[in-house]
Chains A and B, each alone.
Chain A
Amino acid sequence: MLFEQILFFIAGLGAIGGALGVVMLRNPFYSVLSLVGHLIALALLFLLLRADFLAAAQVVVYAGAVMVLYVFVVAYVGGSDEPLRPEGGGVSALGPLFALALFVELTIAVVGSSLGALDSPGRDIAAGFGSPGEIGKLLLTDFLVAFEAASFLLLVAAVGAVVLARKRRGLEDPETAPGVMSAHDAISGPKEAAR
């Protein structure tokens, strides 16, 4: 189908461009915006794979809610520009090389695999494949334990975030705690004490 192929290449280029933007852009705020574009392109790919519910969840939950959280934290911390590479770090230049080697290896593994179904668009599927009803039925029958564990995990994460980010009064006030008067002290203090 020509239309599907055109849509795949548009969405694939969008996803790759968004991903490159996340890694290349120096301002964290622009990185977050680039990730939003990447996620929307990815949702288009999910639609091509007949995962309707997941595409909707990706746009609403990921590109909507999670990214708003990111934008808030970047605005709070004050996302400052950083140099892409640390000064004089010889080892860090190996990072992109390692990623390239990983990509070559994964591509060889996919192309060279004897899995014949990889070269087909997939089996024939029923009309409701990937619809909210079908996914909901699976979540409440076959994957009930995983579903409940995921909801419990979300609860733990919410409580943990509140505990981590709350203002500590009395016990560990950063103004009065010894050794953390400034960033410099916070780093060098314990090492000095150890000597």
Chain B
Amino acid sequence: MDTSWFVVLSAFIFCIGAAGVLTRRSPLVILLCLELMLNAGNLALIAFSRMAGNQDGQVFALIVMVVAACEVVIGLGIIVAMYRRRLPIDVDAMSELRG
């Protein structure tokens, strides 16, 4: 398969994730959509790594996976803390810092 197929597929998945982040209101689902966007980036990195015949892109993708795992852990910790304080699990309602 040509590399451009993989890159266009990755762009499509990235845009689905971006639409989810913009339209959904539950922070849980927004974290899931962020995962979609990060994975689309990973797919593009690996496709380019295959195109160049160089494995550096795969190591980059591995580091992106580590950062995504850290982001998930902290995000879920914040959601659990919100639930403990009986705050609404809704990003539109969390507007105290708007100023």
> By the criterion CB–CB under 8 Å, are B53 and A123 in contact?
yes
> By the criterion CB–CB under 8 Å, are A106 and B29 in contact?
no
Q: Quick one: closest A residue to B85, CB to CB?
A: A174
- 118-158 of chain A: CB within 8 A of chain B: 118-125, 129-130, 134-135, 138-139, 142-143, 146, 150, 153-154, 156-158
Choose among A49, A96, A125 the residue that contacts B46 (Cβ–Cβ < 8 A). A49
> By the criterion CB–CB under 8 Å, are A19 and B85 in contact?
no
Q: Known A106-B14, A158-B73; judge A23-B80 contact (CB<8 A).
A: no
> By the criterion CB–CB under 8 Å, are A135 and B51 in contact?
no
- 39-81 of chain B: CB within 8 A of chain A: 39, 42-43, 46-47, 49-53, 55-56, 58-59, 61-63, 65-70, 72-74, 76-81
Residue A102 lies at the interface, judged by CB distance under 8 Å to chain B: yes
Choose among A5, A16, A70, A143 the residue that contacts B32 (Cβ–Cβ < 8 A). A70
Say how far A169's CB is from chain B's closest CB, in angstroms: 12
Contact count A vs B, C-beta below 8 Å: 254
> By the criterion CB–CB under 8 Å, are A32 and B32 in contact?
yes
Interface residues on B, range: 35 or more
Chain A residue numbers with a CB within 8 Å of B85 are 174, 180, 186
Chain B residue numbers with a CB within 8 Å of A117 are 3, 51-52
Chain B residues near A (Cβ < 8 Å): 1-9, 11-20, 22-26, 28-29, 31-33, 35-36, 39, 42-43, 46-47, 49-53, 55-56, 58-59, 61-63, 65-70, 72-74, 76-81, 83-90, 92-93, 96
Can you report 27 A-B residue pairs in the complex whose CB atoms are below 8 A from each other?
Answer: A12-B5, A16-B16, A20-B16, A22-B17, A28-B29, A31-B32, A42-B39, A48-B1, A50-B50, A53-B58, A62-B65, A73-B28, A77-B89, A96-B23, A99-B19, A102-B14, A118-B2, A118-B51, A119-B3, A129-B53, A135-B55, A142-B59, A150-B67, A154-B70, A164-B81, A165-B81, A183-B88
Chain A residues near B (Cβ < 8 Å): 4-5, 8, 12, 15-16, 19-20, 22-23, 28, 31-32, 35, 38-39, 42, 45-46, 48-51, 53-54, 57-58, 61-62, 66, 69-70, 73-74, 76-77, 79-80, 82, 84-86, 92, 94-96, 98-100, 102-103, 106-107, 110-111, 117-125, 129-130, 134-135, 138-139, 142-143, 146, 150, 153-154, 156-158, 160-162, 164-165, 167, 174, 180, 182-183, 186-187, 190-191
